[in-house]
Amino acid sequence: MERAIKQRRTIRVYDPQVLHLDQLSQLLWSAQGITGRNGFKRAAPSAGALYPMDVYTVVGQDSVEQIEAGVYHYESKGHMLSQVTKQDLRDRFARAALLQMWMAKAPVNLVITAEYSRVTGKYGKRGVRYALIEAGHIGQNLFLQAEALGLKAGIVGAFHDKELVEIMKLPRSHEPLLVMPIGYAV
Ligand SMILES: Cc1cc2nc3c(=O)[nH]c(=O)nc-3n(C[C@H](O)[C@H](O)[C@H](O)COP(=O)(O)O)c2cc1C
């Protein structure tokens, strides 16, 4: 654990090496996997256990074994991916992130979104703060899980929200907060 914390760095140059499906599976689990015995508590804490966050992954062509290029939604219940769109969208995606084209070289970009209504119903405006805090927990889980798998991650907050939503065909209520490119370092 200490090694993962010490070695964690935002990486902006990735090797095109294909990821194993198990690696992507483990990353997604660390972000929002079910970890509680009763089948609903997740890997990252959540105010009131309301879980306002979703995780999507943008997968490139020939980037993850057994998975075609596209956008996928991670279903915590069942630990499954459901496909949202087909096509390698990494280039358009990186353009929407203020031309940070290095992101397009990573085999996967994980996108953390918030649906605030799930938490503001109980906590009012403060629920937005809680969701943002939760995004930070998920991001750090991903950083440390990537390290433990011998992978490297980056973190990107600079992007045009609307463009990202359109490219990924996200539901309007799912607001993207963070993008994490992940792969092997060069
Ligand atoms: C909320 C947030 C947004 C960030 N956005 C970007 C970004 O858009 N592009 C980028 O290259 N780095 C981004 N970073 C990474 C920071 O530049 C990086 O964390 C910082 O330089 C410290 O380096 P380290 O992560 O390697 O320790 C972001 C980091 C955070 C926490």
Mutate to test the pocket of ligand 1, among 10, 111, 134, 140 (most ligand atoms within 8 A of CB): 10
The CATH fold assigned to 2-185 is NADH Oxidase (3.40.109)
Residue given tokens 């203020």 in the structure block: 98
- How far is Cα 109 from Cα 74, in angstroms, rounded to an integer? 13
* pLDDT, position 110: 98
User: CA 48 to CA 167: how far, in whole Å?
Assistant: 32
pTM: 0.95
- Over its length of 186 residues, how does the chain's per-residue pLDDT go in tens digits? 889 999 999 999 999 899 999 999 999 999 999 998 788 899 999 999 999 999 999 999 999 999 999 999 999 999 999 999 999 999 999 999 999 999 999 999 999 999 999 999 999 999 999 999 999 999 999 999 999 999 999 999 999 999 999 999 999 999 999 999 999 999
pLDDT of residue 36: 87
- What is the number of the ligand 1 atom nearest to the C-alpha of 139? 31
Q: Return the structure tokens found at 53.
A: 């966050």
CA-nearest of 53, 36, 173, 34 to 111 is 53
CA separation, residue 186 to residues 5, 17, 33, 153 (Å): 20, 9, 29, 12
Contact 98, 158 (CB under 8 A): yes
Model pLDDT, residue 31: 98
What H or E segment, with its residue span, contains residue 57?
Answer: strand 53-59
What is the whole-number distance in angstroms between the Cα of residue 153 and the centre of ligand 1?
11
Domain locations along the chain: 2-185
- Residue 177 Cα to ligand 1 midpoint, Å, equals 13
User: Which atom of ligand 1 is least distant from the CA of 97?
Assistant: 8
Ligand 1 cavity residues, CB under 6 Å: 9-10, 12, 100, 155-158
